[in-house]
Amino acid sequence: MSYPAGGGADYWGRLVRHQGWVKLGQPVVVDNIPGRGGNNGTAAAAGPLPMVIPCCWAPSGRWRCIRSPTPGLPFDAEKNFAPVALLESSPILLVANPAVKASSVPQLIAFAQEQPGQLTYASNGDGSPEEVAGELFKRRAHTEIVTSALTAPDRREKRSSQAEPI
């Protein structure tokens, strides 16, 4: 599991683990290895794991982005993994801190264009679905908004106080 324990992905992973245990008749272990937008856990699943059949929970949007050769990743998504199933689907929402004086997407774009590089958005790290969506939003809106990658311990505090749009 390339996400921290207790989140949505962990919940779904544990449901799958339970069903795997029932169907296979042997233990299925979920090992949470978060970090770098899911790349740490993905790298661990790609590596040599004696006596283990590794599987990796990966969001489809991020997976599409890393399937092409990406410099610096310690794994090759095409060679190390094969898609098995789509297990769930989750939306990505665009919301804003009340301090941002925008109540619509056009107002948010105008606000960001008036203050290039001053507005931030929160993401779960490089290559995460939120970061990819934020970068796509920036390009399509022709704005300069800065990503604020959140680490597991400071997510709640930053999401509520520091990053303007999320």
What CATH number should be reported for the domain holding residue 156? 3.40.190.10
Whole-number pLDDT of residue 161: 47
Q: What are 93-102's pLDDT values in tens digits?
A: 888 888 888 8
Task: Note whether 14 and 71 are same-domain residues.
Answer: yes
Mean pLDDT for 103-125 is 89
- The confidence score (pLDDT) of residue 163 equals 52
- 37-58 burial: b if 16+ Cβ within 10 Å, else e: bbbbbbbbbbeeeeeeeebbbb
Please check whether residue 64 lies inside any domain of the structure: yes
Q: Does residue 113 or residue 63 have the better pLDDT?
A: 113
Q: Is residue 1 part of a domain?
A: no
C-alpha to C-alpha distance for 164 and 150, rounded to whole angstroms: 13
Residue 29 located in a structural domain = yes
Whether the per-residue pLDDT at 3 is higher than 90: the answer is: no
What is the arithmetic mean of pLDDT over 104-131? 86
48-76: per-residue pLDDT in tens?
A: 776 677 777 766 655 655 555 556 777 77
CB atoms within 10 A of CB 115: 12
pLDDT bucket at 144, cuts 50 / 70 / 90 = very high
Mean pLDDT of the chain: 77
The closest of 35, 84, 21 to 55, measured between CA atoms, is 84
pLDDT of residue 160: 45
Residue 17's domain comprises: 8-80
Q: Provide the token pair at 1.
A: 């599991």
Report helix, strand and coil shares of the chain as percent, to nearest 5: 45, 5, 50
- Angle between helix axes 129-141 and 105-114 (nearest 10 degrees) is 80
pTM: 0.61
Q: Are residue 58 and residue 116 in the same domain, yes or no?
A: no
What stretches of the chain adopt beta strand conformation (E)?
Answer: 120-123, 146-149
- In total, how many domains does the chain have? 2
Q: What is the pLDDT of residue 138?
A: 92
Residue 7: phi and psi, rounded to 5, are -90, -175
Residues 110 and 63 in one domain: no
Closest CA to 146 of 157, 155, 134: 134
